[in-house]
Structure 1
Amino acid sequence: MSDQPIHITLVTLGVDDVQASAAFYEKLGLKRSSASQEEVAFFDMGGLALGLFGRESLALDAGVPAGGTGFNSFSLAWNQPDEASVDASLDRAVKAGGKLVKAAEKVFWGGYSGYFADLDGHLWEVAHNPFAPLRENRSMELPE
């Protein structure tokens, strides 16, 4: 067993329509990889890849039922360098076809955040965290 820390390399979202979802993420500014195919789309997110795969196919691959609705018990985060960037990013997501779930506001932990849902209801938090600044490559710097 390796003692290396976990390093997430790919987040795959199960979606109803791969091409429609891929178009949504392209409207957000992501560039589709040439590794994409009709059944799967990939996007480089600067050290982490985002994959879009048919919901039924992803469930079949994992050996679990495809059904399920409501809250999936997770959200993805898109951190921004300041509050204005949070507002602009939420606006961009809505203009791309996403649904504003919660308008940005100052939050209990001292930051500023809001939520949108993509075409399949996957939650994205857009946040400014003054306690975890962004590095030059836009990854989050956490205190040790």
Structure 2
Amino acid sequence: MDPEITLVTLGVDDLDESIRFYRDGLGFPMRDREDDSDVAFFTLDGTWLSLYPRNLLAEDAKVPDEETGFSGITLAHNVSERDEVNAVLEEAEAAGGRIVKPAQDVFWGGYSGYFADPDGHLWEVAYPDLTDE
């Protein structure tokens, strides 16, 4: 297997709301789709993001659709400047996301914060201060 992630699919409760959040709020480029389609694809640098109804994704994977709190997965977006962390968090909040952890200096030497999308998927926005390397 090649060490590459080509697609990340998020199970969502309200596809239209999630499309608005990612496409309209965060400006992710969405691929064309039929109005009645159950899936939305976004072309990102190096990978794709898809949104699919949570219950249908669970059914497809043959697992129960039960929310149990933290899923054990976060997505990350690294930025090249410290101030960009705050700007991206503000953008996510303005788009309807919820700030989970305000930006702050972190134990690994960088600066980061977390937001949750409308379905609670966690995104870390980080500036990895690499000046010492």
Q: Which TM bucket (shorter chain)?
A: over 0.9
Give 2:87's aligned residue. Answer: 88
- What letter corresponds to residue 29 of structure 2 in structure 1? K
Give 1:140's aligned residue. Answer: none
Give the unaligned 5+ runs of structure 2.
none
The ranges of structure 1 where at least 4 consecutive aligned residues each deviate by more than 4 angstroms after the TM superposition are none
**Alpha carbons of structure 1 residues 36 and 110: separation in structure 2 relative to 1, 3 Å:** farther
Q: CA deviation at 1:28?
A: 0.3
SS of residue in 1 equivalent to 2:125: strand
Rounded to whole Å, the distance in 1 between the matches of 2:2 and 2:33 is 27
Give 2:110's aligned residue. Answer: 111
Rounded to whole Å, the distance in 2 between the matches of 1:109 and 1:35 is 41
Q: Is the 8 A contact 1:86 1:128 kept in 2?
A: yes
If the length of structure 1 is used for normalisation, what is the TM-score? 0.85
Rounded to whole Å, the distance in 1 between the matches of 2:34 and 2:124 is 25
Is 1:7 matched with 2:4? yes
**Alpha carbons of structure 1 residues 58 and 104: separation in structure 2 relative to 1, 3 Å:** same
The 5-angstrom pairing of residues 13-32 of structure 1 reads 13-26=10-23, 27-32=25-30
Q: Is the 8 A contact 1:75 1:123 kept in 2?
A: yes
Give 2:43's aligned residue. Answer: 44
If the length of structure 2 is used for normalisation, what is the TM-score? 0.92
Higher relative contact order (CA 8 A, sep 6+): 2
**Alpha carbons of structure 1 residues 73 and 36: separation in structure 2 relative to 1, 3 Å:** farther
CA RMSD, aligned part only?
A: 1.7
Equivalent pairs: percent with the same residue? Answer: 50
Q: How many residues align?
A: 130
Q: CA deviation at 1:130?
A: 2.1
Q: CA deviation at 1:35?
A: 4.6
Give 1:61's aligned residue. Answer: 60
SS of residue in 1 equivalent to 2:21: helix
